[in-house]
Amino acid sequence: MVQISMGMLAYFGDSKTRAAVDLLLAKKRPSIPDDVKWDEVPEFFRALRAARQIQTDYAILLHEIWNDVWKPLPATIWKAKAPYEQGDDGILDPTTIWTNSYALRLYERDKLSSELIVYVDNETGVQIGFNVTQNGKTKLPKLLADWEADDGTFWSPSALVKIQKNLNLTALEPWAVEATKIIKSAGKAQR
């Protein structure tokens, strides 16, 4: 069970809050609206601070979900990349995670790479995804039954886990187990 912060619940549950946070986080230096007066500037900065807190809470949430759902690939076969070794998509930067709407962990085996991914948004809820690539090309079959495919990455069905204060991630566990089996068999096929 993973708990969502109140700020994240407000973000996912209220379209006005979501629009305000998205607007504030869309730029490195957010524009101050025309109608803000000097005595209102501190309130604007409080709103910006809240938006940045939601952004950081989102990164925390995705990694807590990852820890709850995924199990690391076998260390004797797949080399786990350390946090500082993660590639561009796996950068541990809350802004990048916010922009991409996912967090991942990268593993390597011989010439293969595998990513175990967590994606969360208001419409889809919580999804997990995975892929196995070699030189940027997928090494997985074109179709895997019941998985949603997107550019070589396979995703659990959307809306299995809806956004709510306490996330029960049990519905994703069989998907994580199946993904791990598929990754292991793809690795064996390379030998």
CA 3/CA 6 separation, integer angstroms: 9
CA 141/CA 54 separation, integer angstroms: 37
- Identify residue 40 by its one-letter amino acid code: E
For residues 64 and 118, the answer to whether their CB atoms sit within 8 Å is no
CA 60/CA 66 separation, integer angstroms: 10
H helix runs in 82-172, sequence order: 94-100
pLDDT band at 38 (very low <50, low <70, confident <90, very high): very high
pLDDT at 137 over 70: yes
Taking residue 81's Cβ as centre, other Cβ atoms within 10 Å add up to: 17
Q: Please count the structural domains in the chain.
A: 1
pLDDT at 60 over 70: yes
Residue pointed to by tokens 């541990």: 92
Q: Compare 149 and 143 and report the one with higher pLDDT.
A: 149
Classify burial at 184, counting beta carbons within 10 Å of its beta carbon; exposed 0-12, middle 13-18, buried 19 or more. middle
For residues 105 and 87, the answer to whether their CB atoms sit within 8 Å is no
Mean pLDDT for 80-101 is 83
For residues 73 and 80, the answer to whether their CB atoms sit within 8 Å is yes
pLDDT digits (tens, 9 = 90+) for 105-135: 999 998 999 999 999 999 999 999 999 999 9
pLDDT at 26 over 90: no
Please give the backbone phi and psi of residue 145, each rounded to the nearest 5 degrees, phi first: -50, 135
91 is in which domain, residue-wise?
A: 1-191
pLDDT band at 187 (very low <50, low <70, confident <90, very high): low
Q: Could you tell me the CA-to-CA distances from 93 to 55, 56, 61, 75, 125 in Å, in that order?
A: 10, 9, 13, 25, 22
Kindly report the pTM of this predicted structure.
Answer: 0.87
| Ranges 8-12, 35-39, 56-60, 143-147: which has the least confidence | 143-147
For residues 48 and 30, the answer to whether their CB atoms sit within 8 Å is yes
- Identify residue 178 by its one-letter amino acid code: E
For residues 119 and 159, the answer to whether their CB atoms sit within 8 Å is no
pLDDT at 191 over 60: no
Instruction: Enter the tokens of residue 10.
Output: 């407000």
Q: What is the mean pLDDT of the chain?
A: 89
